Amino acid sequence: MSPPRTLRVALVVLGVGLFAWGAEAWAETIYVQARTAQLRAGKTSLDAVVGNVKFGDALEVVGRDGNWVEVKTSAGAKGWIFANKTASSKPSGTNDTLVKLGQSMRGGDASATTASAGARGLDKASEGYANRAGVSARDRDAVDRMTAYQIPDQEVEEFLREGGLGEYAK
């Protein structure tokens, strides 16, 4: 192989590399700003769900149209997400490094659920508080039930759909 040809090959490789790097560097990244969100095959809530993402996930923007953004996940899956479920900066979650560091230094024994309180139960600290403050059994039960209260995600989604809210807006 002659030197000029080697040089040409090297330049081509360098060019391809720079192009790939440039495309990567210029790709716009957005983040999921919702507890969970669905990726759809098209830009309406009637289109099929092709994937699920969760709070804080990074998504590469492929395109935009109205209230919808076409994105690609880190795993390479593509789909459309409702724009109001995304943010341009990474959301500061509750489990960031500082919080984890603080938890690790403080330890978490005070918040362990008491054995007597059962599976859902008030935690040790608040049960101790209830005893000292003379909170009635009725009111403890109210907070206990409140703590355990859950609504499945599908029911919230159905509620949004019925009301024409979020990505189901008419």
Partner 1 sequence: MRSNHRLAATLILLALSAAGCAEIQRAGEDIARQSGNPRLAGAIHGVGNVVGSLLPIGYEEEMSIGQAMALQVVARYGGVVDQPELVRYVNLVARAVANTSDRPDIPYRVAILEHDSINAFAAPAGYIFVTRGLLKQIRNEAELAAVLGHEIAHVSQKHILDVIQRSKRLAGVTEAGLSYATSNPAAFKTIIDGAVKKLLDEGLDQEKETEADAVGEVFAARVGYDAEAYVGLLARLRDLKGDDRALFKTHPNFSARIEAVRNTIHSKRLAATGVLLQERFLRMTKRV
Catalog residues that contact partner 1 under the rule CB under 8 A: 33-36, 55-56, 84-85, 91, 93-111, 122-126, 128-130, 132-133, 135-136, 138-140, 142-143, 146-147, 149-151, 155-156, 159-160, 162-166, 169
Closest of 87, 59, 85 to residue 72, by C-alpha: 59
Nearer to partner 1, 5 or 170 (CB): 170
Given the complex with partner 1, which of 27 and 165 has the nearer CB atom? 165
Q: Which pair of structure tokens corresponds to residue 170? A: 């008419």
Q: How far is the CB of 28 from partner 1 (least distance, A)?
A: 20
* Cβ proximity of 12 and 18 under 8 Å: no
**Shortest CA distance to 44 belongs to which of 159, 157, 167?**
167
Least separation in angstroms between residue 76's CB and partner 1 is 25
* Beta carbon of residue 69, minimum distance to partner 1 (angstroms, whole number): 14
Query: What gap in Å lies between CA 71 and CA 22, rounded to an integer?
Result: 18
Cβ atoms 23, 72 nearer than 8 A:
no
Query: What's the rounded Cα separation, in Å, for the pair 109 and 100?
Result: 15
Nearer to partner 1, 22 or 158 (CB): 158
- Cβ-based nearer residue to partner 1, 61 or 160: 160
DSSP 68: E
User: Smallest distance, Å, CB 23 to partner 1?
Assistant: 31
